[in-house]
Amino acid sequence: MEALRATDPEIYGLVRREERYQRDSVRLIPSENYVSQAVLDASGSVLQNKYSEGYAGRRYYEGQRYIDKIESLVCARACALFSAEHANVQPYSGSPANLAVYCALLQPGETIMGMALPHGGHLTHGWDVSASGRFWHPVRYGVTRETGRIDMDQVREIARQQRPRIIVAGATAYPRQFDFSAFGEIAREVGAYFLADISHIAGLVVAEAHPSPLPHADVVMTTTHKTLRGPRGAILLCRETLAESIDKAVFPGLQGGPHNQTTAAIGVALREAATPEFHAYGRQIVSNARALAEELLARGFDLVSGGTDNHLILIDLTGKGVIGKKASKALDRAGIVCNYNTVPFDPRKPFSPSGIRLGTPSVTSRGMREPEMRRIAAWIDEVVAHVDDQEVHKRIAGEVREMCRAFPAPGLGREGDPVV
């Protein structure tokens, strides 16, 4: 980054500091990851310079000989990896991709049935403050109080009563597997489309550590920057019969020129995801989450649904007498980065909820395994038990830094790189 350093030392310095922060901390935000240097190279490439509204072979600009090849290649890789008939790799991110699906398949005011946000669903599945809940009619399903899990009989009942035009299965804070086959059956029964939003779990699906929603879903959306370990973007997958509506909704319906540097970087990530190493990575994410969960349970933590079978863990801290925000701030001081999160049926407000959310994609990318998960659980326990003791946090931050040194993160510079 010599040119950046010379032109803009201010931005350069901040980027370097962020890099050091990512290197020296245990990052447990389940939606984050470390991309490879190859992904960083593609996303910082001269493809930034191109405009290419339209699709390969049907552009509104000349000069697309290489861009067309890149986009076609990336679409083919996406179809091959997920066994899909059609792929659109242009959505700028997950939220506009979901919006494109609604624009493609629904009339304004029709009903979207999605998982309730406080139960782990995403804003774009019909929550009021999102366009999805303002321009369409939202109905919701959630988890049961007893199990913390989705009850498919309840989902079927709501679908039969409400007759949604689309049912969305996907979440940002659900530690269990989705029964995509049952969702597909229910959608067909009530005449609804079925959108599977696998943003969080796409990498697990590729690694066969979570069942695939294909061929149960009409449309599958995934972000590319979470467990899939690519650049920030999204992919829409569907059958040939819906391809034209989906493509038209993305462009010209919602977007202008695609971000070609991102498209190329998605291609790199898909190539990496097709390797045996990635397969092992996806499975290790789940093993690590399980090890972390077991150790936390042994230390008396209350996990929503009693554990995990994917990459994430939701802790209800009520029993520990600490609120989520306070715990996540203390953990950050101790070099452990996570986020405070609502738990199902949370009596507290969303801006200061009862829980924290942890995930293992990033630490697994660094090569950490079960023994490191047990150390992390012990640190979390100690921080929560001494939530006001900054000396304890500082000491742990040093121990965390020491452990991180043994697990270099992909794509990050060396320790000695100049900060300013």
Ligand X SMILES: *Cc1c(COP(=O)(O)O)cnc(C)c1O
Q: How far apart are CA 265 and CA 233, in angstroms?
A: 9
Q: How far apart are CA 311 and CA 360, in angstroms?
A: 6
* Interface residue with ligand X, options 71, 197, 295, 346 (CB under 6 A): 197
223 is catalytic: yes
Find the shortest distance in angstroms from Cβ 318 to ligand X: 25
Which of 5, 20, 51, 149 is an active site residue? 51
Element spanning 357, H or E: strand 355-359
170: contact with ligand X by CB under 6 A: yes
197 is catalytic: yes
Distances 252 to 64, 88, 110, 258 between C-alpha atoms, Å: 18, 13, 22, 11
> What strands lie across the sheet with 302-303, from one edge to the other?
302-303, 312-316, 355-359, 339-341
| Range in contact with ligand X (rule: CB under 6 A) among 88-96, 150-158, 326-334, 360-368 | 88-96
Are residues 106 and 194 in contact, defined by beta-carbon separation less than 8 angstroms?
no
Per-residue x/- track, 210-249, ligand X (CB under 6 A): -------------x--------------------------
222 is catalytic: no
Nearest CA to 393 out of 342, 335, 314, 306 is that of 335
124: contact with ligand X by CB under 6 A: yes
Nearest CA to 228 out of 260, 264, 200 is that of 200
* Interface residue with ligand X, options 36, 72, 93, 177 (CB under 6 A): 93
| Range in contact with ligand X (rule: CB under 6 A) among 6-14, 164-172, 267-275, 410-418 | 164-172
Which of 124, 172, 223, 227 is an active site residue? 223
Which of 232, 299, 333, 369 is an active site residue? 232
Quick one: 124 or 354, whose CB is closer to ligand X? 124
Find the shortest distance in angstroms from Cβ 135 to ligand X: 17
Q: Where are the beta strands (DSSP E) in 148-233?
A: 166-169, 193-197, 219-223
* Interface residue with ligand X, options 43, 88, 132, 199 (CB under 6 A): 199
* Interface residue with ligand X, options 122, 229, 259, 366 (CB under 6 A): 122
Are residues 100 and 132 in contact, defined by beta-carbon separation less than 8 angstroms?
no
Please give the structure tokens belonging to residue 295: 């150790």
Nearest CA to 359 out of 1, 18, 28 is that of 28
Find the shortest distance in angstroms from Cβ 334 to ligand X: 26
Quick one: 32 or 185, whose CB is closer to ligand X? 32
Helix, strand, or coil (residue 304): helix
66 is catalytic: no
Residue ranges binding ligand X (CB under 6 A): 31, 93-95, 98, 122, 124, 170-172, 197, 199-200, 223
Which residues are known catalytic residues?
Answer: 51, 53, 197, 223, 226, 232
